[in-house]
Amino acid sequence: MEKEIKINFEVIPSYEQLSDIEKTLFDKAKNIRQNAYAPYSNFFVGCALLLENGEIITGSNQENAAYPSGLCAERTAIFWTSANYPNEKIKKIFVIGGPKDDLSSTPIPPCGGCRQSILEYEAKQKDVIEIYFTSPKGEIIKTKSVRDLLPFSFDGTFL
Task: Provide the annotated active-site residues.
Answer: 74
* Burial state string for 140-152 with b = 16 or more CB within 10 A and e = fewer than 16: bbbbebbbbbbee
Phi (first) and psi of residue 105, to 5 degrees: -105, 10
Map residue 78 onto helix, strand or coil: helix
Helix (H) or strand (E) holding 76: helix 73-84
Tell me whether the omega of the peptide bond preceding residue 107 falls within 30 degrees of 0, making it cis: no
Reference 60, options 27, 108, 96; nearest CA is 96
Residues 26, 32, 37, 39, Cα dihedral to 10° = 50
Q: How far apart are CA 76 and CA 149, in angstroms?
A: 20
Angle between helices 20-33 and 73-84 (to 10 degrees): 110
